[in-house]
Amino acid sequence: MNDPKNTESRLALVGLTVLVVCSFLAFAIIFFDAGNLFSSSSDTPSTDQVSTDESSDPSDKILADIAEAKEKLEEFQGRLDSPYLMPVNEQSPIPEGYTVDLMVLSHTDGSLSLDKAAASAMNAFLASAEGVGYHVSLEAAYRSEAQQQKVYDEKFKSFRQAGYSVTEAKELATAAVGSVNHSEHQLGLAVDFNPKDLEQAGADGTLFKDYLKKNIYKFGFILSYPAGGQDSTGRDPNGCHYRYVGLEIAEDMNNRGYTLTEYRGYLQNQITYYQQQITMLEKQ
């Protein structure tokens, strides 16, 4: 039974098995190391790629948000500081020493003028209105202090003649035309259309008052004293008095339906919001 041939073949089989196992181990070690080398050499740049990718790095996202908030803040602050958005009402008088760079309005007898930018815009509006069949006139534009005093005094007198007390007549005149140094006319930014012209029909039958509502904001003017706005404006509704605020602001105010006071409040809220956002983001 102890066949030497059998013993030889058994030894050969053991030797072969050892060889196969060793080879396998050798391969496994080489593979393992190579795998380690491979993975370490490929993981490093892939990690770098992640850190340079803006969309997934939180600190880059914060920096982008801060930049965006600062841009918004600047935009709203710029609007609030615009000279065309200066509030002039019974709470806010014309600043002392305020000067206006005046220009005579075309389509008038030469006696009416406005601030240069406002005058150019009004000239363009009047030409456009004329182009669609309206022949309108302006009753008032820029007023000096003395001219505003005269307008106020006449109004006061008319209320006194109608039987109102001095206190009542003062209140009524103020609500109707504004007291001296509290009128947008002294800014050189406001005009009064003739009330009679509001009912005038254009070439397509549209009344001028409707044409005004639909179009004048496209020239940078807004209705200062809308119906129902007394709490905000402190003035009686007046469908004839329009004020220049600049094109962009007029469009925005028209879309939002705000009076000047309300719009300034809205801008201030936006400014406060973005200031808080920036402070919060910068802490992160």
Q: Which stretch binds Zn ion (CB under 5 A): 67-75, 98-106, 156-164, 237-245?
A: 237-245
Whether the Cβ atoms of residue 94 and residue 186 lie closer than 8 Å to each other: yes
Whether the Cβ atoms of residue 172 and residue 181 lie closer than 8 Å to each other: no
Looking at beta carbons, which pairs linking 198-206 to residues 24 or more positions away fall under 8 Å? 198/239, 198/240, 200/134, 200/135, 200/136, 201/133, 202/129, 202/132, 202/133, 202/134, 203/132, 203/133, 204/132, 204/133
Site size with Zn ion, rule: CB under 5 A: 2
Binding mask 144-183 toward Zn ion (x if CB under 5 A, else -) reads: ----------------------------------------
3-state secondary structure 44-78: HHHHHHHHHCHHHCHHHHHHHHHHHHHHHHHHHHH
Query: Based on CB atoms, which residue is closest to Zn ion, 79 or 241?
Result: 241
Residue nearest to Zn ion (CB): 241
Q: Which stretch binds Zn ion (CB under 5 A): 80-88, 119-127, 189-197, 209-217?
A: 189-197
Q: Which stretch binds Zn ion (CB under 5 A): 7-15, 77-85, 164-172, 241-249?
A: 241-249
Q: How far is the CB of 248 from Zn ion (least distance, A)?
A: 23
Phi-psi region of 134 (alpha: psi -120 to 50; beta: other; left: phi over 0): beta
Binding mask 26-65 toward Zn ion (x if CB under 5 A, else -) reads: ----------------------------------------
Q: How far is the CB of 177 from Zn ion (least distance, A)?
A: 7
Give the Cα separation of 200 and 233 in Å (integer). 27
Which tokens sit at 139?
């009753």
Q: Which stretch binds Zn ion (CB under 5 A): 37-45, 164-172, 188-196, 209-217?
A: 188-196
Residue 115, H or E segment: strand 113-115
Whether the Cβ atoms of residue 81 and residue 95 lie closer than 8 Å to each other: no
Q: Which stretch binds Zn ion (CB under 5 A): 23-31, 76-84, 91-99, 190-198?
A: 190-198
Residue whose entry in the numeric block shows the structure tokens 């936006």: 270
Binding mask 196-235 toward Zn ion (x if CB under 5 A, else -) reads: ----------------------------------------
Determine if 241 is a binding residue for Zn ion (CB under 5 A). yes
Query: Based on CB atoms, which residue is closest to Zn ion, 48 or 154?
Result: 154
Q: How far is the CB of 185 from Zn ion (least distance, A)?
A: 6
Q: How far is the CB of 192 from Zn ion (least distance, A)?
A: 4
Q: Which of 192, 236, 251, 262 binds Zn ion (CB under 5 A)?
A: 192
Q: How far is the CB of 194 from Zn ion (least distance, A)?
A: 12
Question: Could you count the other beta carbons within 10 Å of the beta carbon of residue 280?
Answer: 12
Which tokens sit at 236?
């009686």
Q: How far is the CB of 160 from Zn ion (least distance, A)?
A: 21
Whether the Cβ atoms of residue 178 and residue 89 lie closer than 8 Å to each other: yes
Give the Cα separation of 189 and 122 in Å (integer). 10
Q: Which residues bind Zn ion (CB under 5 A)?
A: 192, 241
